[in-house]
Structure 1
Amino acid sequence: MVRKTESSESSDDEQRYSSSSEEWSEDSSEDVNEIVEVNGFQILDSQVSQVNAIFEKHPDIASDFSLKNQQLKNAYMGVLLDLIMTLCQSPKELTMNDLNKADRTILDLTKAGLRLHWLRQKLDEAFLKKEKKRAIGARIRELEEQKQKAAALAAETPFDFSDVV
């Protein structure tokens, strides 16, 4: 269910929270921010396709989510969208700190009643990718070190009689 509502116009010095960037920013426009309701969550119009995709693939995601406070419900959805965007980063960009924070966030969202087994699986895959990348990097460094040791040993080895003659 999608329902559109409009928020009041904002002044140049009013600040608003952008859930996709987790930063406070000044709203310098006189535009009306359109709020849309999707399955009981009030979100920005620009997030409708993402939230609809979540509910299409995981229709039971909020079946145990029973918060009555609308602002808190909206905040949880914003956190979920941010978490998904974090996991969309490449394994090279993701740090172990990012993954550990995502792990704690999934735990918190699950305790609140969201069904996120599918997202837990993706996080586990991200941890595995990060660990494989670390292991491969360590193996490459080990092989390079062995190669350098072999080259150093070869440089220190004197010629024997048959090499010279």
Structure 2
Amino acid sequence: MVRKRESSESSDDEQRYSSSSEEWSESSEDVNEVVEVNGFQILDSQLSQVNEIFEKHPDIASDFKIENQQLKNAYMGVLLDLIMTLCQSPKDLTMENLNKADRTVLDLTKAGLKLHWLRQKLDEAFLKKERKRAIGVRIRELEEQVKKRKLNLSDLESDLKKQKAAALAVETPFDFSHVV
């Protein structure tokens, strides 16, 4: 169910969150179009994201029993923020971000949201991060081995040049003045 209304008021307690380009808004001067989707009031700019969530996971809020509208909206904002966190580049996603996301999924699940699909993606993100760390360690080990072998090769090349010079010196015949 999608229902639209325009909001030009905002109390100190009321905060609206919009992912992506929007910011938290508390200004009473802002005019935001608010849309209601399955009992959650969201900004119009969030409509496609929230619709996609409910299309792919229609039972997400079937056990969500919170009646306070502001609290419901806050939970949806936290969920959208969490999803956007997981959409970050693996390079930018820190273990601290992942641990915070893990605790947030637990809190949202305790509140009654069915997030097994998000838990799975979070677990994948943890595995990717751990794999990246392990690969980084292996790369550093290999770089150290290459460095040591290059030094060893340099030493061998130096020894080879000395031996070739010594061989050349041994092969040089005496000239007449050195023999006499």
Measured against the shorter chain, the TM-score band is 0.7 to 0.9
Gaps of 5+ in 1: none
Distance of aligned partners of 1:40 and 1:145 in 2 relative to their CA distance in 1, 3 Å threshold: same
| More deviation, 28-37/48-57 | 28-37
Distance of aligned partners of 1:4 and 1:55 in 2 relative to their CA distance in 1, 3 Å threshold: same
Q: What is the Cα deviation at residue 90 of structure 1?
A: 1.4
Distance of aligned partners of 1:118 and 1:7 in 2 relative to their CA distance in 1, 3 Å threshold: same
Question: How many residue pairs were aligned?
Answer: 164
Gaps of 5+ in 2: 146-161
Higher gyration radius (CA): 2
Please tell me whether the aligned partners of residues 3 and 36 of structure 1 are also in contact (alpha carbons under 8 angstroms).
yes
Sequence identity percentage: 90
More helix as a share of residues: 2
Cα deviation digits, residues 78-123 of structure 1 (max 9, x gap): 0000000000011111000000000000000000000000000000
Q: Provide the C-alpha distance between the structure 1 equivalents of 2:110 and 2:173, rounded to a whole number of angstroms.
A: 69
Aligned to 2:152: none
More strand as a share of residues: 1
Aligned to 1:5: 5
Runs of 4+ residues over 4 Å off in structure 1: 9-26, 28-31, 147-165
Q: What is the Cα deviation at residue 145 of structure 1?
A: 1.1
Cα deviation digits, residues 14-60 of structure 1 (max 9, x gap): 9976566796567x895521000000000000000000000000000
| More deviation, 96-105/139-148 | 139-148
Q: TM-score, normalised by structure 1?
A: 0.78
Please tell me whether the aligned partners of residues 65 and 114 of structure 1 are also in contact (alpha carbons under 8 angstroms).
yes
